[in-house]
Structure 1
Amino acid sequence: MQSQANVRQQRAGQAQVRARQMRDGTVFKAMMLAMLALALVMAQSVVAFAKPESLAPLAEKISPSVVNITTSTVVEGRTGPRGIVPEGSPFEDFFREFQDRNNGGDGEGQRPRRSSALGSGFVISEDGFVVTNNHVIEGADEITIEFFSGEELKAEVIGTDPNTDIALLKVEAETPLPFVKFGDSNAARVGDWVIAMGNPLGQGFSVSAGIVSARNRALSGTYDDYIQTDAAINRGNSGGPLFNMDGDVIGVNTAILSPNGGSIGIGFSMASNVVTRVVDQLKEFGETRRGWLGVRIQDVTQDVADAMGLASATGALITDVPDGPAKEAGLLTGDVILSFDGVEVADTRALVRQVGNSPVGANVRVTVMREGKSQTIKVALGRREDANGATSGDEDTPDQQSEPETKDLLGLTLSPLTDAIRGEMGLDADMMGLAVTAVDEGSEAFEKGLRTGDVITEAGQQKVTSISELEARVDAAKDAGRKSLLLLVRRAGDPRFVALTLG
């Protein structure tokens, strides 16, 4: 009997445990459901925060600072129909007579005519400074600024910068003007919401919205730093602002990528961190004043890095040092610039932008890799705008008068330069090196762009003027365990380094 009582007690205890577990499981499920519901509410709140229900309040706030720009230009040109008959055609005389009759027969077909163009811009100060694109106002005789209120004022050009396609204008208003301020374009992230405003296709003030599609885009300019956006940008939007959600300008709408001239969701705005530096200089000097190092450079590719024994394919390889600050400081062809003014150099584009953003006359430290060793050289920067007439600073080397010899090496047929060959190739009298007289089309040299008429002036970062010197450089590279040899190749005077694999 006692054992049956114990069994009943054990069963009752087990039942209580199961009941308690079921209650606990129900509570746990209820807690999980509650937490899930809370998470959904929070997610909806984040989405609502990221994308406002309406952009109208922001648009109303910033619209008064955006302007339409109309330019007028007097151009020389015909007022009648242009010729469509090829020169020398038997119908040419007939067509000319027809055109002369159409233009009165007195040469009035060449009368000047007035052309107009439309663009956008934005006010950056209450005293009337306006930013737009240089191509909007370039060559204009008269510039009219139309404000959101409908008021129109004439503008004068304070300064322009074709390199970044930025122009600074000024209007004189009787009362302070509404304006916007620049934001930090470096803080813009891919996926952030943006607003583009302007005068697309001459339709008047217009707003479009999108996101930052990409950062740090380059189109064709040396100092390019474009923000790519899918906000609708069309003809007439040029020079207008790209706003972030705080109402700050983070870009100036400049270009679109389109097969048909209309927006396909690929637009480009010059980053505000580039624009602000340009605007400040235009406001102060009426022109830009960029730093100038005075070197020709190319990117360090992996094969170039291997040929030079570098740890990584970073930095900027100097291909030429014409007269200028770098030459005076002692930088040499073949140096690899690793850092500039304390900032590591990733590639040539980064170096060009950093040098351009440096003050003219600044003394900066340039760290280079030379013959496997790192050294730092102090350089006093010049002014980029004064350097356009700089000439090459190549050293003179005695001419080689030996009989020409030809040899096939590295997929190239090579011959030392002589006066006769220089004359045939149109080279300067002081050019020294090896002429490429033929290239094997199945070789790596051909694949990497070497062609007949190129001149090899260095191999392994040492000058070469004979076949034997080049062979010695090849042997030295092999003895050092190098997989490739670095050649300095000149074409029409322009130098570049090419690394060719050693067989």
Structure 2
Amino acid sequence: MMSDNIKKYGLPALLIISLFFNAFAALMLLQNSTSTASALQGDEAEKIPLDYENFKAGWGNAWIGASISDVTPAQAAKALLDRPEGAYVNSVTNNSPAQKADIRPGNILLSFNGRKIRNALQFQNDLAGSEIGVEIYLCVSKDDYRETVYILPEKRPLSLPPVMKSYPYLGVTVDDVSEGSNEEEHLEDAEKEGGVLVEYVIPGSPAEQAGLLQGDIIMSFNSRKTRTLREFLSDLAGCEPGQTVRMCIIREEIRKTLFVTLTRSVI
């Protein structure tokens, strides 16, 4: 009798059980997919686009623990440099990012992420515009040789005086050049890499008065290459109201140099 019942009900029961587990597995897969999608949406929501306002909010927070000054002619001659440029390292804080990267007093910092450092203030502005925990690289003169070192800036210690800054006003909305855009093609035709796109020029602003137009691509700022939006904002934040800066731009196939006198921020 039991054998007959198994023959009679066993196959339908197995089929029902199989369908149940398949449905349960599908439900769990859907839940996992939903959770993953939610997590991704959360990650995207945390990414704040880089613009001048949120850039200023974090400006000056990065720290590597090196005290610097301008390079003197004597220091440049000792390091076999052609001219007194760069940032001279006076001291290094114990257990700081600079010490961990083997930067020592007497070293001279020559470039920051591939851009030449002309003086101590320029280096300080480059560092101030850096992201905490995002690796930077420096070309360092050490006695009679040069070395590239990599450093992870840390958050500026609370025991140090806060960085005070009066940000200048230019009057433009800018962004990185988009991949595959017409602007990128113009750069490729000009055999240039990077650049910052002017998306909007505020009427009556210093930028408009200097002749900057929507669609212009800013290639350099005070004779330093401008490859990314962060580099441009670092250079701009390092200026003072009333200062006149020089910007090299590409406008379609034409290259121009514009001089802009910055004013005090209107905000």
The TM tier, using the shorter chain, reads: 0.3 to 0.5
TM-score, scaled to structure 2: 0.43
Q: Which has the higher helix share?
A: 2
Q: 1 or 2 for the larger relative contact order (CA 8 Å, sep ≥6)?
A: 2
Quick check: which has more Rg, 1 or 2?
A: 1
Q: TM-score, normalised by structure 1?
A: 0.24
